[in-house]
Each structure stands twice: as C-alpha cells, then as structure tokens.
Amino acid sequence: MSDTRSISTIAREVDSDWKKVSVYARPYLDTMYSLTSVNDSFCADSGHSVILYFLANASTWRGDTARRVKAELNKMVK
C-alpha cells in the first residue's frame, strides 16, 4: 500500500495554508481538487502537467508547509 496522498487532499492543504493564492496558480490549484493521482486527466491536461503548471506558478507560496508540499508534488511528477 502506498503512502502517497491524493492530489485533491494536497490541494486542500495548499488552500488552507496559502492565504493569498496567486491568480496564476489558482486555476491549477482548482483543477487539482478533481484529481486523485498524476495518472488522472482533466479535459486535455494530464495530472502530471497540472502539477507542473501549479508548481511553476507557486513561487510566491513560502514557508515550511510550502516546502514540504512542493517537495511531495515534485516527487510525484518524477
């Protein structure tokens, strides 16, 4: 059994920690709520690409939680 969290669970944590989500990251974060894993798709986008786009636009999210969650997401897309 895997200890990997679902992407939607991670999205909830991001929303609860990141008080002013970047307008550029918000569409990808909202999409993450509908994903379970990187193998899922949303319209024409793969879960993998949604995570990469989110990470590319989440540079203003900082702190311990941000570092931990970004590392978790990076591990998922490797």
Handedness of CA 43, 48, 51, 52 (dihedral sign): negative
pTM of the entire structure? 0.90
d(CA 50, CA 76): 12
For 13-40, what is each residue's pLDDT tens digit?
999 999 999 999 999 999 999 999 998 8
Whose structure tokens read 């894993």? Answer: 37
pLDDT at residue 40, rounded to an integer? 87
Q: Convert the pLDDT of each residue in 46-55 to its tens digit.
A: 999 999 999 9
* Residue 4, phi then psi, degrees to nearest 5: -75, 130
